[in-house]
């Protein structure tokens, strides 16, 4: 059994029967583990897009005429959101459009930056269980200025709640104050944001939604090299374990498609299934183990070509993210053993998956339908 610098004796019993390359880290834990509302079982769900067409364009009100020119510079916007009683918030999907650019912060941590209002930018962020501060630095370079965002908060019970930018957001009619994004900063003297317009009838219009995740960097994989042409009618198993003591994993989003069928599991729990290689399905995994997570796929071919392709986006407690793609590092089996989906299943004698080809290869092409963010 592999040992680790962050192994503690208290979990020795849990590790009995684990595969030779598995470790758990006793000195890392997710903040949700200490919150009573977060003790229930993780419930995965189909991914729910953060639609921008339900949101509103806002700005500071320095110019009281909507859609009019505003001073150049960076402006601060923020909103505290409290989870409903009994709900455990784990992660958020945030889609933003801005004229001209923006930086998104959650609980004081920079999550990402983007520019433009014709297409939204998507970000994934870890949350505290009950109360979270969302802050956005909006930058106006010239003339009109506006900001719009939709926030989907994902709860551990598989539900979600949507919040939008509107007149309830706080702002300052002037340059963004130092530390405006920090929870310790008081916004009690700030004013409320001013409505600039709706997506349906404003100067900026309705931004396009980006795909929830890309498939372009992922590979079609199977257990034989010529699977793009033909493969036996059979079920194959695939596994990928992320074993990392250096960060605390919080949640994940998974995008997956297969020719012909798949069943997706995370840490032994069934997540979802699909049966069309012409479209991909996306799933929210609201809670991961802090350091050790296994993604497993039971993929079945009916006849002809065979393959499975996926992108996994893991969000960590420090606000960083990691993208995992199907590739030759996945483990593969031409059978589907009992319990193969469990984290501690021993796959040491499995082979590595065969890369059939890049996304876009025939016969699947690059037109797989991907859900929006």
Taking only the tens place, the pLDDT of each residue in 69-86 is 999 999 999 999 999 889
Structure-block tokens of residue 306: 């065979």
> Cβ-count burial of 179 within 10 angstroms (0-12 exposed, 13-18 middle, 19+ buried)?
exposed
Residue where a domain stops, chosen among 197, 220, 239: 197
166 and 223 fall within a common domain: no
- The CATH number that applies at residue 337 is 2.60.120.260
Question: Contact 223/354 with Cβ under 8 angstroms?
Answer: yes
Whether residue 271 is predicted with pLDDT greater than 90 in this model: the reply is yes
Structure-block tokens of residue 76: 């601060």
Whether residue 114 is predicted with pLDDT greater than 60 in this model: the reply is yes
Whether residue 15 is predicted with pLDDT greater than 60 in this model: the reply is no
Whether residue 36 is predicted with pLDDT greater than 70 in this model: the reply is no
249 and 350 fall within a common domain: yes
User: Is 129 among the domain residues?
Assistant: yes
pLDDT band for position 37 (cuts 50, 70, 90): low
218 and 247 fall within a common domain: yes
* CA gap 12, 33 in Å, rounded: 19
CA 324 vs CA 92, 170, 315: distances in Å? 19, 37, 11
User: Is 57 among the domain residues?
Assistant: yes
- pLDDT at residue 42, as a whole number: 80
**Which is higher by pLDDT, 221 or 21?**
221
153 and 221 fall within a common domain: no
155 and 118 fall within a common domain: yes
The rounded radius of gyration (Å) of the Cα atoms in the chain is 23
pLDDT band for position 362 (cuts 50, 70, 90): very high
Whether residue 12 is predicted with pLDDT greater than 50 in this model: the reply is no
51 and 191 fall within a common domain: yes
171 and 244 fall within a common domain: no
Mean pLDDT of 240-260: 97
DSSP secondary structure of 212-269: SS--TT-EEEESSTTTTT---S-EEEEEEEEE-SSS-EEEEEEEEEEESEEEEEETTE
Domain count, the chain: 2
User: Is 26 among the domain residues?
Assistant: no
Mean pLDDT of 194-206: 97
Question: Contact 105/135 with Cβ under 8 angstroms?
Answer: yes
- pLDDT at residue 214, as a whole number: 97
User: Is 112 among the domain residues?
Assistant: yes
CA 357 vs CA 38, 217, 231, 288, 354: distances in Å? 41, 11, 14, 30, 9
What residue has token string 């372009």?
216
Handedness of CA 216, 238, 291, 157 (dihedral sign): positive
Identify the weakest region by mean pLDDT among 3-7, 172-176, 272-276, 290-294: 3-7
pLDDT band for position 31 (cuts 50, 70, 90): low
Mean pLDDT of 319-325: 97
Residue where a domain stops, chosen among 197, 222, 244: 197
User: Is 9 among the domain residues?
Assistant: no
User: Is 6 among the domain residues?
Assistant: no
- pLDDT at residue 34, as a whole number: 58
User: Is 202 among the domain residues?
Assistant: no
69 and 175 fall within a common domain: yes
Q: Chain-wide mean pLDDT for the chain?
A: 91
The count of other CB atoms within 10 Å of the CB of residue 363 is 11
188 and 121 fall within a common domain: yes
Q: What is the DSSP letter of 208?
A: B
Mean pLDDT of 198-210: 96
* CA gap 364, 218 in Å, rounded: 13
178 and 220 fall within a common domain: no
Mean pLDDT of 149-164: 97
Residue where a domain stops, chosen among 166, 197, 228: 197
What's the CA dihedral at 179, 180, 185, 189 to 10 degrees?
140
Whether residue 364 is predicted with pLDDT greater than 80 in this model: the reply is yes
314 and 250 fall within a common domain: yes
Query: Residue 142 belongs to what domain range?
Result: 46-197
CA 159 vs CA 51, 84, 137, 303, 309: distances in Å? 16, 12, 29, 37, 26
Whether residue 13 is predicted with pLDDT greater than 50 in this model: the reply is no
176 and 313 fall within a common domain: no
User: Is 12 among the domain residues?
Assistant: no
Whether residue 217 is predicted with pLDDT greater than 80 in this model: the reply is yes
């Amino acid at each position: 059994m592999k040992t680790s610098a962050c192994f503690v004796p208290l979990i020795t019993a849990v590790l009995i029967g684990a595969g030779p390359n598995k470790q758990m880290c006793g000195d890392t834990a997710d903040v949700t583990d200490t919150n009573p509302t977060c003790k229930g079982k993780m419930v995965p769900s189909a991914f729910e897009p953060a639609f921008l067409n339900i949101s509103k364009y806002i700005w500071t009100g320095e110019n009281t005429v909507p859609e009019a020119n505003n001073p150049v510079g960076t402006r601060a916007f923020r909103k505290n959101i409290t989870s409903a009683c009994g709900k455990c918030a784990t992660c958020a999907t945030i889609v933003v459009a801005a004229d001209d650019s923006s930086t998104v912060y959650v609980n004081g941590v920079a999550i990402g930056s983007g520019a433009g209002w014709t297409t939204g930018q998507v970000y994934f962020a870890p949350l505290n269980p009950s109360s979270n501060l969302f802050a956005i630095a909006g930058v106006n370079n010239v003339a009109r200025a506006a900001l719009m965002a939709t926030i989907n908060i994902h709860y551990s019970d598989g539900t979600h709640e949507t919040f939008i930018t509107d007149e309830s957001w706080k702002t300052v009619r002037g340059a963004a104050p130092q530390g405006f994004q920090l929870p310790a900063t008081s916004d009690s003297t700030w004013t409320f944001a001013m409505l600039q317009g709706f997506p349906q009838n404003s100067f900026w219009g309705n931004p396009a939604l980006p795909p929830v995740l890309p498939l372009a960097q992922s590979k079609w994989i199977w257990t034989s090299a010529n699977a793009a042409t033909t493969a036996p009618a059979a079920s194959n198993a695939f596994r990928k374990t992320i074993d990392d003591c250096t960060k605390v994993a919080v949640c994940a989003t998974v995008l997956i498609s297969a020719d012909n069928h798949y069943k997706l599991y995370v840490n032994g729990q069934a997540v979802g299934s699909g049966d069309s290689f012409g479209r991909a399905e996306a799933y929210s995994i609201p809670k991961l183990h802090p350091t050790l997570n296994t993604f497993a796929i039971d993929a079945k071919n009916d006849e002809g070509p065979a393959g499975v392709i996926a992108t996994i986006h893991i969000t960590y407690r420090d606000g960083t993210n990691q993208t995992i793609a199907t590739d030759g590092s996945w483990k593969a089996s031409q059978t589907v053993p009992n319990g193969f989906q469990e984290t501690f299943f021993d796959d040491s004698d499995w082979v590595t998956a065969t890369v059939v080809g890049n996304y876009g290869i025939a016969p699947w092409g690059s037109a797989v339908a991907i859900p929006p963010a």
